[in-house]
Chain A
Amino acid sequence: MKRQILLLAITAAALSSCTTAYKTGQTPDDVYFSPTRPQDEYVRVEEKEEPRYDDEYYDDRYLRMKVQNRTQWAYLDDWYAYDRYGYRANFYYGSYYNPYTSWNYYYNPYCRNNVIAYYPVQTGHPGTVTVAQNVPRPRTFNLLSYTNTNFNNVNSNTSINSKSLSNPVYNNRNSNNGFSNTLKQIFNGATNSSSNSTYSPPTRSYSPGSGSSGSGSRSGSSGSSSGGGGGASRPSRGGN
């Protein structure tokens, strides 16, 4: 923040040192009307263009000299006629020293033609390599969860109140209760008894596809995984 303020101060100082042509008189407001810029009070002389030393220039100069004295410049006739082209006769092939058009362009780093590109995978091209791709997805995504317009934003248990929010309950480990008994019954394969609460968590069947390892039931409390090659292994955790 301090750095930003300093930057701002420096910028403001730089701006305030600017000169403007509108120190006196009205300052135009371009939203309403923008006059053309104030004109200089002296005659503006167009700057002469730099001469271009091209064929046309040399042709003109040759003609001017010949008009002035037809014989005096005769010894330059050959040069103006063809020598001047001859000196750059190799321009089609480029100068040996010109990195952009050199004969040795194949090895020349400035030449585009010798860029060696390698595309590791291109479907349909000869030599395509098919590799099982690693696909970690940082989030769950299911289109059906976005097309789902059922909303539940109200707790059904009216006894819930916000007071309990101020005391994180995960630190209060009372040994009380019917729910664990229910869970133990589940572990023991007993009938899933219902509590008085209207709460009913969703049920999901576990049906791994054929050929899978370790299909079938799995004890929730034994906690170990064979962790076959190429994957994370669940840590073995001793249970009851």
Chain B
Amino acid sequence: MKGKIYAIVFLLSSYISFSQTPEDALRLSWYQLKGTARNQAIGGAMASLGGDATANHVNPAGLAFFKTSDMFITPGLQFGKNKSMFRGTNGTGEGQTNFNLGTSGFVFGGFGQKARNSFGITVTQQADFNYTTYYNGLNDYSSFAEPLADEFAASGMTIDQALSYSSNISIPTKMSLYTYLVDTLTINGSPQVIARSENPATREQTNRIESSGGITEINLGWGTEASKKFMAGLSLGINIINMERRTYFHESDATGNADNDFSFLTYDEAFKLKGYGINFRGGLIYRPKEYIRLGLAVHTPTWMPLTETVSSGMAADLENLFGAGQGYDSVGIATITGAGDKAEKEYQLNSPTKIMISGSYVFREVEDITRQKGFITADIEYTNYSWMKYAPYEGEAYDETRADYAPYNEAIDAVYKGTFNFRLGGELKFKTIMARAGFAYYTSPYKDDELKGRKMFISGGLGYRHKGMFIDLTYVQRLNKDVNFPYRVNAPRANTFADLKENGGNVLLTVGFKI
């Protein structure tokens, strides 16, 4: 009996909340693999080249090229600005500058029989979530409250039932009911669900998203030279995930009518996602003859147990609905849930598997550095973002099943597709000085051609290697495109979204020593 009481207390003090979205899964999976300054200068291509510590998390077989040992650090400075287009209106987000860390750590080469084994331990900030998105525009078609009213209408509940703590109605919908933004009304004798923000024919909508955090990965890798022609490698990646996002959505009556029961609504959400991830990377490099290197690498999904925390609030001004100047009210999450100022949930997300093939031409593979002239290298990567999967968190004491997550995974299948990504780069070497250039293109993960998404990187850099030390300086220009949906509505109604352009740069400096 005592145990049962404990169980009840335990359950009541916890929440099962579903707020994970396909968009968040994509944010944790769609990013360019980062590396050392030298690697980023050549577009990030590293699936066949080897001899650079970036191989530790791209193709660990490339570690086998190390017969000597390195220690190195790669600080970076990233800056940029988002531009947007929302329903014909251009917008610009605030500029953002932040510090980041390219591949840093140690490679220990030349161990074991005939010095064939090498090991690497590296730390890399793989994803950077520091950005500010802003868009604003007039909308004469739909309102933020439309999906909220739809959800309530489809629930078959009364308002009191929907507002009860145990109902499965989403928090924003409950907030809209609480503030009378969504309500019921008898029209022509038939009861209907209305959203008062739909009263004006045109609304001005503003969405501002401030995001921070990133994914830092620690890699432990091993590469071995099976023969003069074959190299193999394996690495373990441990991810530390931290994403924080503040979303501020504002919608106001753009008609100038002060007596239509809607002046404005504001929805404010603070979202935190923390967790870790584990993945494995394996690969082979084949050297059929001098100059030529061919690579194959496979990245397993990153298995990410995540803890999500959401806190939110809503305000609405319904003008003179309750008397002159009495239309404003606001509500926070604590009132809606009846416990605490945030909702928390643990779940698991798996990123998609990646497969890479690659080729390099290295001129020449000789010890005398005066005869080393340069290389070109290219990677082709295939991944399928519909392979991303949400699942219940294994260690959680909730009675959840994979079926509970099926709609989210079906939405991922519906929206995302497989993509080919390309990385290309080269280096010219002049004894101790090197010049590099590179290009990378990540194609759209969206199935629908109307949604323009891509990541494009153009890079260049210089290197210096002498007296046991190496210094590489790189600049990477980002030219990314993406879309953002402020809310989604059901067919046959149409969705609206903002087109985003993210342009910016990243300066990376690798300083390292032969040890």
Determine whether the beta carbon of A179 is less than 8 Å from that of B200: yes
Given the known inter-chain contacts A35-B367, A208-B161, please indicate yes or no for A223 contacting B322, CB distance below 8 A: yes
Determine whether the beta carbon of B67 is less than 8 Å from that of A121: no
Q: Decide yes or no whether A95 CB sits under 8 A from chain B.
A: no
Question: 1/0 per position for A149-174, CB-CB distance to B under 8 A?
Answer: 11111111100101011001110111
Q: Decide yes or no whether B96 CB sits under 8 A from chain A.
A: no
Per the bound structure, the CA–CA distance linking A169 and B364 in Å amounts to 68
Q: Decide yes or no whether B226 CB sits under 8 A from chain A.
A: no
Determine whether the beta carbon of B200 is less than 8 Å from that of A140: no
Question: 1/0 per position for B477-492, CB-CB distance to A under 8 A?
Answer: 0000000000111111
Determine whether the beta carbon of A33 is less than 8 Å from that of B71: no
Q: Name the one of B8, B188, B398, B415 contacting A192, with C-beta atoms under 8 angstroms.
A: B188
Question: 1/0 per position for B212-240, CB-CB distance to A under 8 A?
Answer: 00000000000000000000000000000
Q: Name the one of B71, B368, B432 contacting A18, with C-beta atoms under 8 angstroms.
A: B71
Determine whether the beta carbon of B326 is less than 8 Å from that of A29: no
Q: Decide yes or no whether B261 CB sits under 8 A from chain A.
A: yes
Determine whether the beta carbon of A206 is less than 8 Å from that of B184: yes
Q: Name the one of A8, A20, A29 contacting B372, with C-beta atoms under 8 angstroms.
A: A29
- Rounded to whole Å, the gap between the CB of B376 and the closest CB of chain A is 12
Determine whether the beta carbon of B511 is less than 8 Å from that of A170: no
Q: Decide yes or no whether B136 CB sits under 8 A from chain A.
A: yes
Q: Name the one of B69, B172, B497, B515 contacting A139, with C-beta atoms under 8 angstroms.
A: B172
Q: Give chain B interface residues in 331-349, CB to chain A under 8 Å.
A: 331, 333, 335-338, 343
Size range of the interface on A?
A: 35 or more
Determine whether the beta carbon of B513 is less than 8 Å from that of A15: yes
Q: Name the one of A127, A174, A204 contacting B258, with C-beta atoms under 8 angstroms.
A: A174
Q: Give chain B interface residues in 462-488, CB to chain A under 8 Å.
A: 465-470, 487-488
Size range of the interface on B?
A: 35 or more
Given the known inter-chain contacts A143-B407, A148-B490, A152-B495, please indicate yes or no for A30 contacting B260, CB distance below 8 A: no
Per the bound structure, the CA–CA distance linking A141 and B20 in Å amounts to 9
- B449 — nearest CB in chain A belongs to which residue? A149
Question: 1/0 per position for B481-510, CB-CB distance to A under 8 A?
Answer: 000000111111111110000000000000
Contacting residues, chain A, for B467 (C-beta < 8 A): 20, 22-24, 27
Given the known inter-chain contacts A28-B514, A147-B414, please indicate yes or no for A174 contacting B204, CB distance below 8 A: no
- Rounded to whole Å, the gap between the CB of B332 and the closest CB of chain A is 10
- Rounded to whole Å, the gap between the CB of A143 and the closest CB of chain B is 5
Contacting residues, chain B, for A231 (C-beta < 8 A): 160-161, 163-167, 338
Q: Give chain B interface residues in 242-273, CB to chain A under 8 Å.
A: 252-261, 263-264, 269, 271
Q: Name the one of A31, A146, A197, A212 contacting B415, with C-beta atoms under 8 angstroms.
A: A146
Q: Name the one of A140, A176, A204 contacting B153, with C-beta atoms under 8 angstroms.
A: A204
- Rounded to whole Å, the gap between the CB of B279 and the closest CB of chain A is 25
Q: Decide yes or no whether B109 CB sits under 8 A from chain A.
A: yes
Q: Decide yes or no whether B50 CB sits under 8 A from chain A.
A: yes
- Rounded to whole Å, the gap between the CB of B182 and the closest CB of chain A is 10
Determine whether the beta carbon of A140 is less than 8 Å from that of B170: yes
Determine whether the beta carbon of B469 is less than 8 Å from that of A30: no
Contacting residues, chain B, for A120 (C-beta < 8 A): 3, 6-7, 10-11, 397
- Rounded to whole Å, the gap between the CB of B321 and the closest CB of chain A is 6
- B463 — nearest CB in chain A belongs to which residue? A29
Given the known inter-chain contacts A151-B450, A230-B166, please indicate yes or no for A131 contacting B7, CB distance below 8 A: yes
Determine whether the beta carbon of A137 is less than 8 Å from that of B494: no
Per the bound structure, the CA–CA distance linking A204 and B411 in Å amounts to 24
Contacting residues, chain B, for A175 (C-beta < 8 A): 258-259
Q: Decide yes or no whether A45 CB sits under 8 A from chain B.
A: no
Contacting residues, chain A, for B183 (C-beta < 8 A): 218, 220
Determine whether the beta carbon of B201 is less than 8 Å from that of A129: no
Per the bound structure, the CA–CA distance linking A209 and B158 in Å amounts to 8
Contacting residues, chain A, for B432 (C-beta < 8 A): 27
Determine whether the beta carbon of B7 is less than 8 Å from that of A141: no
Question: 1/0 per position for A218-240, CB-CB distance to B under 8 A?
Answer: 11110101111011111101111
Taking each of A139, A226, A238, which has the highest tally of chain B beta carbons within 10 Å of its own beta carbon? A139
Per the bound structure, the CA–CA distance linking A189 and B392 in Å amounts to 49
Question: 1/0 per position for B368-381, CB-CB distance to A under 8 A?
Answer: 11001001000000
- Rounded to whole Å, the gap between the CB of A142 and the closest CB of chain B is 6
Q: Decide yes or no whether A90 CB sits under 8 A from chain B.
A: no
Determine whether the beta carbon of A168 is less than 8 Å from that of B258: no
Per the bound structure, the CA–CA distance linking A156 and B323 in Å amounts to 33
- Rounded to whole Å, the gap between the CB of B508 and the closest CB of chain A is 13
Across the A-B interface, the 8 shortest Cβ-Cβ residue pairs: A173-B258, A20-B468, A22-B468, A231-B164, A31-B51, A145-B488, A152-B494, A138-B19
Chain A to chain B contacts (Cβ below 8 Å), 28 pairs? A20-B513, A27-B369, A27-B469, A28-B67, A30-B66, A37-B68, A120-B7, A135-B167, A136-B336, A137-B18, A139-B170, A140-B173, A143-B407, A143-B414, A145-B488, A151-B495, A153-B88, A153-B496, A154-B88, A155-B87, A156-B140, A156-B141, A206-B192, A212-B156, A221-B321, A231-B338, A237-B322, A240-B321
Q: Which A residues form the contact surface with B (CB < 8 A)?
A: 1, 4, 8, 11-12, 15-16, 18, 20-24, 26-37, 118-121, 123, 127, 129, 131-157, 160, 162, 164-165, 168-170, 172-177, 179-180, 183, 186-187, 189, 191-192, 195, 197, 199, 201-209, 212-221, 223, 225-228, 230-235, 237-240
Q: A21-B514, A189-B187, A217-B184 are in contact. List 9 more A-B contacts (CB 8 A).
A: A29-B372, A37-B69, A134-B165, A138-B18, A140-B151, A151-B497, A170-B252, A202-B493, A205-B153
